[in-house]
Amino acid sequence: MPFVNWLKRRLVVIAGLLTLAYLLLPNVVVTVFSFNKPKGRFNYEWQRFSTDAWKDPCGVADMCGSLSLSLQIALWATVGATVLGTMISFALVRYRFRARGAVNSLIFLPMAMPEVVMAASLLTLFLNMGAQLGFWTILIAHIMFCLSFVVTAVKARVMSMDPRLEEAARDLYAGPVQTFLRVTLPIAAPGIAAGALLSFALSFDDFIITNFNAGSTVTFPMFVWGSAQRGTPVQINVIGTAMFLVAVLLVLSSMVITHRRNKQKA
Amino acid sequence: MKTTPDNSGDVRLSGISKTYGSFTAVHPLDLTVPEGSFFALLGASGCGKTTTLRMIAGLEEPTTGTVRLGDQDVTHLPPYKRPVNTVFQSYALFPHLDIFENVAFGLRRRGIKSVKKQVEEMLELVQLGEQARKKPHQLSGGQQQRVAVARALINHPKVLLLDEPLGALDLKLRRQMQLELKRIQTEVGITFVHVTHDQEEAMTMADTVAVMNGGRVEQLGSPADLYENPQSTFVANFLGTSNLIEAEVDTKNGDDLVLKAGGGKLVLPEARCSAPTTAGGKVLVGIRPEKISLTHADDAGEIPAGRNRLTGKIADASFIGVSTQYVIDSPVCDELAVYVQNVERDGRLVPGADVVLHWNPAHTFGLDAAQDIDAGTEEEVAA
């Protein structure tokens, strides 16, 4: 029975580790295959270790161009959606205006509607307006669907904020601008940051809406999709691994900073 | 730290009112709070006391009237330009800043660079020197309350406004903080305007109390004056407990009025009657429960002459240590309250016993009988 007892005591840890493995396995595969040297054009079977792809990440025609385009779109979509979404959240929480209830529910429609339907209708709209498909139509579409996520994240935060905090700031000699910068913004910041991160991630890997509205422009997800038909270059795995590492590094450094700050105070 | 008495800490409200749509939160009122005094606005929730306070702070703009601090008209100044600071209900400490930065906030916004010494001194005053680098949520309720006071006082405001500052604390801590706030006020000599619904708190701390009801000031005076000399049924019932007996003016006898109540006569000094005193007019005779003495009916002969008397039967008696609280049904009035100190207890004073209630006529007060007799009682306020 000692084994059963041992298992009983560690059941939670084992379940946790298994879940973590389940989550991380795809990333491990991506990373491992970024060091592969495939025989044909498809990187689906392990052949032998090589760092060729890491030495020449932009070696595949058009890939780094599409990556830079995706990063730019994601950045601007994040900025646009975060600014607009934050303002909408404040308006919805702080002011009582006509059709406030309607706006409140309409803002969540993009989240609820099937993406492919939205993509097709957006294309119809752009074509009828005679818009030139490309960077701008993609950006407009991305800001639109990121907005609902930002509003959800920021609204929760603003709703839990005590309006007396701003009154206290005004009472303590802070004018409207100072009150916003010193009290309102810092308190809403975690919500805004969450909305921004979500926007960046959603915009960067969006495929369906982008594919419908891109015209001849090719973003990174579209490039990956396109090349998967003809063969997958190892460099795709290199980019994937790099992005994963950047994310992990960001999380780790923020943890270290918070830890140090708390230590200083104690 | 005492300010020179140039009256710049006076708060003068004239004709100030506030309406929201068709609802009038505060009816035009005039109020002067002298510099250096501890002033309380007392009333049930919704009586307009907090709105009045917010108009002094600049957080609400008055619909009519002016707010003056000393000789300066501040009616249209935004809150951040007024030499007034507020201790908010539930404190409103900035959750993202530590205690030091919370207290330093006002100084920094006014562009003062070297804040360290001042902040440390202020934290010492409220005994929180050790907690400077903690976040507000790491402190207890009482400590947060002291931070809120320190954050306001460090700016040396002309007037400190306190909006139900002790409402979130438990009873024992509240008593302690009442004394603490009173100590700080005496020490810094700043005008304090304190809003509360707790009559005991107002009476313990304030020099002057304004009792508000329905957007109006019912009565203004020292705690003792309000208690001994209420001018309306609301004040009589809201501050402590009052026995109110319906009576009719019979005759005048020198400075006293002689009243008919039921079959008996009661004497009331005319100066203590706020109602019209023409013969035949109706008045409410008021007497505080602790002013009444109880004598068993068998000993009625021993009661000295010249005292007001009523007969009755004890309906209920509850022993609460220092005193015994009796409820007595009398022919003129049901459920009279009588508090008797437990000095020499008469064993015959049990429910069912016939008693005589008697008191010195000088403690009687008279109110206009046209008012609601239950105004300001606990049941009425809760409804």
Report the number of distinct structural domains present in chain B: 2
Among A171, A174, A186, beta carbon nearest to B96: A186
CB contact under 8 A, A265 and B96: no
What does the pLDDT read at residue A152?
92
The answer to whether residues A118 and A145 belong to one domain is yes
The answer to whether residues B324 and B362 belong to one domain is yes
- Reading phi first (left if > 0) and then psi (alpha if -120 to 50, else beta), residue B244 is in beta
The answer to whether residues A92 and A42 belong to one domain is no
The answer to whether residues B326 and B204 belong to one domain is no
Number of neighbours of residue A48 by Cβ within 10 angstroms:
9
End-to-end CA distance of chain A: 46
> Structure pTM?
0.79
The answer to whether residues A156 and A98 belong to one domain is yes
> Residue B251 to residues B75, B258, B260, B280: CA-CA distances in angstroms?
51, 5, 9, 9
pLDDT over 80 at A15, yes or no: yes
The answer to whether residues A78 and A169 belong to one domain is yes
A210 in a structural domain: yes
The answer to whether residues B110 and B254 belong to one domain is no
CB contact under 8 A, B80 and A162: no
Confirm or reject contact between A178 and chain B (CB < 8 A).
Answer: yes
End-to-end CA distance of chain B: 45
Confirm or reject contact between B168 and chain A (CB < 8 A).
Answer: no
Burial category of B250 from C-beta neighbours within 10 Å (exposed 0-12, middle 13-18, buried 19 and up): middle
Last residue of a domain, one of B199, B228, B257: B228
The answer to whether residues B295 and B253 belong to one domain is yes
The answer to whether residues A97 and A161 belong to one domain is yes
- Interface test with chain A among B88, B102, B110, B161, by most A beta carbons within 10 Å: B88
A243 in a structural domain: no
> Rounded CA gap, A17 and A26, in Å?
15
Residue A260 is which amino acid? R
What does the pLDDT read at residue B382?
58
User: In residues, how long is chain B?
Assistant: 383
> Residue B186 to residues A83, A156, A168, B177, B182: CA-CA distances in angstroms?
49, 44, 24, 14, 6
Q: Which domain holds residue A224?
A: 61-232
CB contact under 8 A, B155 and A174: no
The answer to whether residues A124 and A207 belong to one domain is yes
Per-residue pLDDT tens digits of chain B, which is 383 residues long:
444 456 777 899 999 999 998 899 999 999 999 999 999 999 988 899 999 999 999 999 999 999 999 888 999 999 999 999 999 988 999 999 999 999 999 999 999 988 999 999 999 888 888 889 999 999 998 899 899 999 999 999 999 999 998 887 888 888 888 888 888 888 888 999 999 999 989 998 999 999 999 899 999 999 999 999 999 999 999 998 999 999 989 888 888 889 988 778 899 998 898 887 777 888 999 999 999 999 999 998 889 988 999 999 999 999 999 999 999 999 888 889 999 998 888 889 999 999 999 999 999 999 988 888 888 887 666 55
How near does any CA of chain A get to the CA of B125, in Å?
19
> Rounded CA gap, A227 and B265, in Å?
109
The answer to whether residues B244 and B188 belong to one domain is no
Last residue of a domain, one of B203, B228, B253: B228
The answer to whether residues B247 and B344 belong to one domain is yes
B298 in a structural domain: yes
CATH for A216: 1.10.3720.10
CATH for B141: 3.40.50.300
> Rounded CA gap, B186 and B290, in Å?
31
The answer to whether residues B200 and B222 belong to one domain is yes
pLDDT tens digits, A45-94: 888 888 888 888 888 878 889 999 999 999 999 999 999 999 999 999 98
The answer to whether residues A87 and A115 belong to one domain is yes
The answer to whether residues A29 and A68 belong to one domain is no
The answer to whether residues B216 and B255 belong to one domain is no
A129 in a structural domain: yes
CB contact under 8 A, B96 and A168: no
B192 in a structural domain: yes
Q: For B93, how many CA atoms within 13 A lie in the half-sphere containing its CB? A: 31
The answer to whether residues A107 and A23 belong to one domain is no
Number of neighbours of residue B179 by Cβ within 10 angstroms:
11
The answer to whether residues A194 and A74 belong to one domain is yes
The answer to whether residues B210 and B299 belong to one domain is no
CATH for B280: 2.40.50.100
The answer to whether residues A34 and A13 belong to one domain is yes
The answer to whether residues B319 and B205 belong to one domain is no
Chain A residues 190-249 within an 8 A CB cutoff of chain B: none
The answer to whether residues A93 and A211 belong to one domain is yes
A254 in a structural domain: no
A206 in a structural domain: yes
Contact criterion met (CB below 8 Å) for B85 and B153: yes
Last residue of a domain, one of B186, B208, B228: B228
B302 in a structural domain: yes
Among B59, B109, B133, beta carbon nearest to A172: B109
Number of A–B residue contacts, CB under 8 Å: 65
B191 in a structural domain: yes
Confirm or reject contact between A168 and chain B (CB < 8 A).
Answer: yes
The answer to whether residues B208 and B83 belong to one domain is yes
Report the number of distinct structural domains present in chain A: 2
The answer to whether residues B195 and B213 belong to one domain is yes
B105 in a structural domain: yes
> Rounded CA gap, B383 and B378, in Å?
9
How near does any CA of chain B get to the CA of A239, in Å?
37
ipTM higher than threshold 0.90:
no
B277 in a structural domain: yes
DSSP H helical segments within chain A, as ranges?
A: 2-33, 52-55, 63-94, 100-106, 109-112, 115-129, 135-159, 163-171, 176-179, 185-204, 208-213, 220-230, 235-265
Q: Which domain holds residue B239?
A: 233-382
